[in-house]
Chains A and B, each alone.
Chain A
């Protein structure tokens, strides 16, 4: 696009935004004068906003008048003072704004409140959030940005060392040491470093029935939030079944298929890998439990299976741990996992 045109449009938009801002500023004052008619004002101001988004000359001249008044205002004050005044005005206004925010969240005056609530309760998706003109409301937008930021943090964050210590998990690395590399090179996240291999060989019990492994994967938050409950509940479940469990440990920056290396090293019957899921906007702390019967180098993906969505808004972590015990029993009974398990089960 033509850069000049872009500049012109940007200027126009900024100007318009300012006008709207001042307009609502004024309207605010009117509202203060007529506190009993706040609702009325709301609808009126909407109409005005609507007009401002229209492109008729008539309205533009109206705006000009308004902005002229405000230009006068800014004429006799120096630039820094303007911002100061604006800040003052904003700080004066903010409590009122907050109140309005509370009232205005979601759809204003829905046609059927109960039905809307029932629909909203059926999904974690951002429905029934209302709108401001053509755009989402500020609170919705901020929430969206917040959730997005949380997802990014989950990918780039590190697991709480205290947690690992409290669960008696020692830490090893894959071939990856940096997060950027981890993201670009999934293959390297599937291989243990030589150092890791040595450490695992020296510290872990060989050929256990069940080997539990933990990895942060794409969400360190998933581990921080859920590991303790899933891990303890799973251990209890395995104990009650009477299965022999190997020495659990933590792999930093691991991928699911890292279980193949572990299978080669320790030769357990089954590997359970608790790994952080790719974060989404619904939850950044969802954990998955991957299971595989005798994983080895060359194991095909179809032989792995997963229980996903373990977090406080999904499968409760404690219940997931207890349920995993049942699945492990099944895998051991049929000596197969994934598609092979289905085939053997008939």
Chain B
């Protein structure tokens, strides 16, 4: 027999007109999600409404899914308020968010999930930390600040429509190239599966003009110019040809990156790891500010020329580059708003409906994930636990400060009641290594077992605070945010993938 997901589909059974179970908890619910994207050059906000519904048949245990996502408010595209070229004016952002919420007609407490994403050159640790601290008062308690080049690319690909395209097209491999002010974030998808990511220092604001002179050149470009022995420098007048030679080169680098053939010189523009997909790309999609320069979706926004940078020139180089004409170009659904839509509408997942959580322990933010994989062998998995917990403590709480982490049990085979007890006993014994017993024990299970595991822990250690959720797929090294329990008895979970497996 095929193995079936615990949340999967089953052959319908007839119940001879007998009444099937319904409505023990609300079957529908709407939640509001916010996405805020603070980029190198622009900042934007979207508010979306998710509709949750029980998709399980009447006689099954409930299975809550997000069935619809409506964008209910899109902010204008604001220039990012900056103190210096890389430090965000946090207070100005606070004010901006506050006013936009008023315009959208929502209160911070209405928001149940979502993400703030700080991208491009403003994605520094300092900005991110301050943002978490500040924004929670204005943006809603559960919301998260997050940054990281790989994640940016992934979120943009979801917002631009590239991810959806790959799901529908199935066989074609699509690369979403989101180019903003400072970086080009690439995510490659095939049939809804992430194949790989790559980030380049290619963006519209890497060279800025003031009047007819070069205003500012960012570091990676300076290095490149140095290697080229070019005399183009800040404060000098310039010709369009000079600039075009740089943007044409950028377009070529993108072409070579897509083919995974970056040269040593090209690597001046590489941020982080090299392209890490193995598939041959069939189609490309451009989103981000440069995507907007190409397609001009935003009728009412300010003239792209007014940015006084190389954005338009870069867009022209991309559209004319022979190195990029080999691929099929797919029009994006969103250009400059791809990332913010991705952050607001595509980062939230919903847990299983039979879970064991305490309202007062939620929400929880930025919880690192430590995975214990059972590899479908129960005894093997059990043996791993004590060592794994010790390693997790060393990794995430080496100074015994009470920094919590979550344990993710994956690939547990079909287990019975006795095995559940064995698992819980072993887990609780191992958790004795944790000095701070006041922090909740956070367990994430891949298979539908959270209720029984949670109940068993409560039976054995009634005082143990516990958050036990299931039917979430995360990976070792991911970070989790777990939101407040919804009316449908599920919790929204935002998974922040910072590492990436091949």
Q: Which residues of A contact B (CB under 8 A)?
A: 112, 114-115, 118, 120-125, 147, 228-229, 232-233, 236-237, 239-240, 256, 277-278, 280, 282-283, 286, 288, 301-309, 312-323, 325-327, 330, 338-339, 341-342, 345
Query: At the interface with chain A, which of B4-12, B42-50, B403-411?
Result: B4-12
- Contact between B170 and A112, CB atoms less than 8 A apart: yes
Q: Known A123-B2, A282-B10, A309-B10; judge A315-B23 contact (CB<8 A).
A: no
C-alpha gap A120/B459 in the complex (Å): 40
* Chain B residues with CB below 8 A from A125, complex form: 11
- A-chain residues with CB within 8 Å of residue B23 when the two chains form the complex: 341-342, 345
Shortest B489–chain A CB gap in Å is 9
Question: Which chain A residue has the least Cβ–Cβ distance from B171?
Answer: A112
Please judge, given known A-B contacts A236-B456, A308-B60, whether A278 and B13 are in contact too, CB under 8 Å: yes
Give Cα A228 to B417, complex, Å: 8
For B59, list chain A residues within 8 Å (CB): 288, 306-309
The answer to whether A322 touches B2, judged by C-beta atoms less than 8 angstroms apart, is no
Bound CA span A320–B95, Å = 49
17 extra A-B contacts, CB within 8 A, seeds A125-B11, A228-B417, A312-B414: A124-B9, A232-B417, A233-B455, A237-B455, A288-B59, A301-B18, A304-B19, A307-B60, A307-B61, A308-B15, A314-B4, A314-B6, A316-B6, A316-B414, A316-B447, A317-B416, A338-B19
Task: Determine whether B105 belongs to the interface, using a CB cutoff of 8 Å to chain A.
Answer: no
Please determine whether A115 and B170 come into contact, CB atoms closer than 8 angstroms. yes
Quick check: A228 and B20 within 8 Å, CB to CB?
A: no
B22: interface (CB < 8 Å): yes
A121 contacts B2, CB within 8 Å?
Answer: yes
Contacting pair A314 B10 (CB below 8 A): yes
CB distance A322 to B451 under 8 Å? yes
Q: Which listed residue, A239, A318, A330, touches B449 by the CB 8 Å rule?
A: A318
Q: Is B283 an interface residue (CB 8 A)?
A: no
Our pick among A121, A122, A280, A322 for the contact of B455 (Cβ within 8 Å) is A322
Q: Select one of B10, B15, B60, B452 contacting A322, CB under 8 A.
A: B452
Q: Name the B residues within 8 Å of A306 (CB-CB).
A: 15, 18, 20-21, 59
Residues of B within 8 Å of A256, CB to CB, are 18
Bound Cα distance A277, B18 (Å): 13
| A125 to B2 Cα, complex, angstroms | 8
The answer to whether B451 and A319 have CB atoms under 8 Å apart is yes
CB distance from B502 to the nearest CB of A (A): 17
Q: Which residues of B contact A114 (CB under 8 A)?
A: 191
Partner of B21, one of A112, A240, A307: A307
Q: Which residues of A contact B20 (CB under 8 A)?
A: 305-306
The 9 closest A-B CB pairs, nearest first, are A322-B452, A322-B451, A232-B417, A308-B59, A312-B414, A229-B416, A318-B452, A305-B21, A124-B2
Task: Report the minimum CB–CB distance from B293 to chain A (whole Å).
Answer: 36
Residues of A within 8 A of B240 (CB): none
Q: Report the bound CA distance from A120 to B454 in whole Å.
A: 33
Q: Is there contact, CB below 8 Å, between A322 and B191?
A: no
When distances are taken between beta carbons in the complex, the residues of chain B under 8 Å from A345 are: 23-24
Bound Cα distance A173, B159 (Å): 62
Query: In whole angstroms, what is the CA distance A282 to B89 when docked?
Result: 61
Residues in B whose Cβ lies below 8 Å from that of A314: 4, 6, 10
Q: Which of A278, A313, A319 has the most CB of B within 10 A?
A: A319
Q: How far is the CB of A86 from chain B (nearest CB, A)?
A: 34
A residues in contact with B13, CB < 8 Å: 277-278, 280, 286, 308-309
CB <8 Å contact, B417 and A229: yes
Report whether A302 and B170 are in contact in the complex, using a CB–CB cutoff of 8 Å.
no
Identify the closest chain A residue to B20 (Cβ). A306
Min CB distance A118 to B, Å, is 7
Which residues of chain B are near A339, meaning CB under 8 Å?
Answer: 19
**Given A124-B2, A124-B11, A317-B416, A301-B452 contact (CB < 8 Å):** no
Residues of B within 8 A of A301 (CB): 17-19
Which interface class (under 10, 10 to 19, 20 to 34, 35 or more) fits B?
Answer: 35 or more
Can you report 28 residue pairs joining A to B where beta carbons are below 8 Å apart? Answer: A112-B170, A115-B170, A124-B9, A147-B1, A236-B456, A240-B455, A278-B13, A286-B13, A301-B19, A305-B20, A307-B21, A308-B59, A309-B13, A309-B59, A314-B4, A315-B60, A315-B61, A316-B414, A316-B415, A316-B447, A317-B417, A319-B450, A321-B417, A325-B455, A326-B451, A330-B24, A338-B19, A342-B22
B472 interface contact, C-beta 8 A:
no
Residues of chain A lying within 8 A (CB to CB) of residue B10: 124, 282, 309, 314
User: Within the complex, what minimum Cβ distance (angstroms) separates A308 from chain B?
Assistant: 4
Q: Which of A112, A229, A282, A319 contacts B1 (CB 8 A)?
A: A282
Chain A residues contacting B1 (CB-CB under 8 Å) are 124, 147, 282-283, 313
Residues of A within 8 Å of B22, CB to CB, are 342
Q: In whole angstroms, how far apart are the Cα atoms of A53 and B430 in the complex? A: 67
Contact B452 A233 (CB under 8 A): yes
Complex Cα distance, B18 from A106, in Å, reads 38
Question: Contact: A123 with B9, CB < 8 Å?
Answer: yes
A257 to chain B: closest CB distance in Å? 10
* Nearest-neighbor residue (CB-CB) of B190 within chain A: A114
The complex places the Cα of A280 from the Cα of B12 at a distance, in Å, of 10
Please encode chain B, from 179 to 209, with 1 for each CB lying within 8 Å of some chain A CB and 0 for all others. 0000000000001000000000000000000
Tell me, rounded to whole Å, the shortest Cβ–Cβ distance linking A333 to chain B. 11
Given A240-B458, A305-B21, A313-B1: A323 and B451 interface contact (C-beta under 8 Å): yes
Known contacts: A118-B191, A233-B417, A307-B21. The answer to whether A280 contacts B449 by CB under 8 A is no
Q: Is B37 an interface residue (CB 8 A)?
A: no
| Smallest CB gap from B356: residue in A | A322
Q: Which residues of A contact B455 (CB under 8 A)?
A: 233, 236-237, 240, 322, 325
B355 CB to nearest A CB, Å: 10
Whole-angstrom distance between the Cβ of B447 and the nearest chain A Cβ: 7
| Chain B 423-458 residues near chain A, CB threshold 8 A | 447-452, 454-456, 458
Shortest beta-carbon distance from B301 to chain A in Å: 40
Give every chain B residue within 8 A of A317 (Cβ-Cβ): 416-417
Q: Is B354 an interface residue (CB 8 A)?
A: yes
Flag if B449 contacts A313 (CB, 8 Å).
no
Q: Which residues of A contact B6 (CB under 8 A)?
A: 314-316, 319
Q: Please, which residues of chain B bring their CB within 8 A of the CB of A286? A: 13
State how many angstroms separate the Cβ of A43 from the closest Cβ of chain B: 24
Q: Which residue of A lies closest to B21 (CB)?
A: A305
B245 touches A (CB below 8 Å): no
* Complex interface: chain B residues within 8 A of A342 (CB): 22-23
Give Cα distance in the complex from A286 to B416, angstroms.
15
- CB pair B354 A322 closer than 8 Å: yes
Q: Which residue of A lies closest to B353 (CB)?
A: A323
**Distance of B357 from chain A, by nearest CB (Å):** 13
Cα-based distance from A294 to B357 in the complex (angstroms): 31
When the two chains form the complex, which single residue of B11, B416, B459 contacts A318, counting CB atoms closer than 8 Å? B416
* A305, B59: Cα distance in complex, Å: 8
CB distance from B462 to the nearest CB of A (A): 9
A315 vs B452: C-alpha distance when bound (angstroms): 12
Tell me the complex Cα distance, A321–B421, Å: 14
Contact between chains at B19 and A305 (CB < 8 Å) = yes
Shortest B420–chain A CB gap in Å is 5
B3 at the interface (CB under 8 A from A): yes
Q: Which residues of A contact B417 (CB under 8 A)?
A: 228-229, 232-233, 236, 317-318, 321
A159 to chain B, nearest CB (A): 17
For A123, the closest partner residue in chain B by CB is: B9
Chain A residues within 8 Å of B21, by CB: 305-307, 327
> Does A327 lie within 8 Å of B459, measured CB to CB?
no
Q: Are A236 and B459 closer than 8 Å at their CB atoms?
A: yes
Nearest-CB distance from A142 to chain B (Å)? 14
A120 to B3, CA, bound (A): 10
